[in-house]
Amino acid sequence: MLSALKSSPVTFALIALNLLAFGYTWLQPDPFSSRTLVDLGAVYGWAVGVRGEWWRLASGMFLHSGPTHILLNMVSLYIVGRIAEQLMDRWSYLALYLASGIVGSAVSVAMHPEGLSVGASGAIFGIFGMIAGYAVAFRQQLGERFAALMREFGGVLVLNLVLGFTIPGIDMSAHIGGLVVGFVGGWLMRYPRATLIWSGVTVALALGYVRFVYPAMFARQGLVG
């Protein structure tokens, strides 16, 4: 266990943050209710568009709607996060994780402006995408390890996709948004610092959208001045 902590500190830190947020949610008088999740920072289109609470794109990544939700996400993060942390430097990995989650949240509010979403799924799908993008970019260098890598995380990806399309209430738009950001970021690992730049650009675009473009939809409805 100690060796795993040393080799994957970012993954374990992210899991710890999610568990701390889950524990704090559990301690609330009405844990996991929509009202409680909104109060704690869930991704909520109206609050983002009308109140300008853009920070929800990030805070919602660390909240979960119940024990099953966080269990599935943390198991997936443990599996693919450790793989990702072996393939890329830790700063690029962390930047891409956060960027995938933030962009996924922005896509979510764009597709479902009246919806509410929580969870690390968008960021985790970004890591799925990152591994796939990295494997495509470095396929020749990986050799036989390419096939092993695909088998190692492919099953988890398929399981998450099946769950996403079959379980009601799961927002696949955030998953797809994170997946695309992650895939491009992973492919860009062939160029020094390109993944960090890509992460910064995508976050800037997502925040610019919810700050300057997204509120216009609510303004047309007379909800903002």
Catalytically active residues are 121, 175
Structure tokens at 154: 């492919």
What Å distances lie between residue 221 and 132, 183, 217, 225, CA to CA? 41, 36, 7, 10
3-class DSSP state for residue 218?
helix
Which backbone phi and psi does 116 adopt, to 5 degrees? Answer: -130, 135
**214-219: which pairs have CB atoms within 8 A and are 24 or more residues apart?**
214/48, 214/49, 214/109, 214/110, 215/49, 215/50, 215/52, 217/49, 217/113, 218/46, 218/49, 218/50, 218/113
Residues 80 and 131 sit within 8 Å (Cβ to Cβ) = yes
Tokens 């597709």, located at residue: 111
Three-state SS string over 66-114 comes to CHHHHHHHHHHHHHHHHHHHHHCCHHHHHHHHHHHHHHHHHHHHHHCCC
Structure tokens at 163: 């769950």
